[in-house]
Homo-oligomer: A and B are copies of this chain.
Amino acid sequence: MAIPRAAKTLRRTRIQEEKEEQILEAALDVFSARGFRGSTIDQIAEVAGMSKPNLLYYFRTKEAMHRALIDRVLYTWLEPLRAFDAEGNPEEEIRSYIRRKLEMARDFPRESRLFANEVLQGAPHIEDELKGPLKQLVDEKAEVIRAWAKSGKIAECDPYHLIFSIWSTTQHYADFDVQVRAVLGQEHAGDGRFEDAARFLEQLFIGGLRPDTPAT
């Protein structure tokens, strides 16, 4: 007879490792495309290629699946902001932050949409992460930006809204991909739009933050 699932974590077998991986991969597919409430366990099971009860053997509830997925993805997702370096050259730091975020929008759109869905619907499952770790990280980086402005390396500006702007402009290409494609038309079906976006956003942010720019 199977051990009660509460004791399952004592030792992790190879199969556990593999199946949980499979499941979370499928869950990312489904949750990112339909949101938590719009997703069903059956859909995830089908994508994962296993039966629903089998899925529920590894994650006892839909919520547990979602939480495990969020936990797993969140750390990676904040990596670019964490890499933001106080010692570096401001212009270059901002430029590479934009580039990194755009690359993530291009290469990990599901992760972007997972969070977008969650935040858009009131962040019922990640409120703590937003108010805790995320806020702390942003506070820290905002201080860096503020110091750059103070020392005249970039224009005086609100660092929080600067960060929000970089988030929104870059993630837009993942979250609103359908709309971007629809507006740009068929000819931008490839990844060219990401290079165009990178060029434009660098121009915008570097130009907009140039120290001699008088605050309006």
On A, residues with C-beta under 8 Å from B are 33-38, 113, 116-117, 119-123, 127, 130-131, 134-135, 138, 155, 157-158, 160-162, 164-165, 167-169, 171-173, 175-176, 178-180, 182-185, 196-197, 199-210, 213, 215-216
Contacts and interface: CB of A to CB of B under 8 A. Distances in A.
A178 B33 contact: no
Given A34-B37, A178-B127, A165 B157 contact: no
Contacts of A37: 34-35, 37-38
How many copies of this chain?
2
A164 B169 contact: yes
The residue among A36, A119, A164, A199 with the most chain B CB atoms within 10 A of its own CB is A164
A175 B197 CA distance: 21
Given A120-B120, A164-B183, 16 more contacts: A33-B122, A37-B37, A117-B121, A119-B176, A119-B178, A123-B178, A123-B179, A130-B179, A157-B200, A164-B197, A165-B204, A168-B169, A168-B172, A203-B216, A207-B208, A207-B210
Nearest to A136: B183
Nearest to A37: B38
A121 B176 CA distance: 9
A85 to B, nearest CB: 20
Contacts of A117: 35, 120-121
Nearest to A161: B200
Contacts of A120: 35, 113, 116-117, 120, 175-176
Nearest to A185: B135
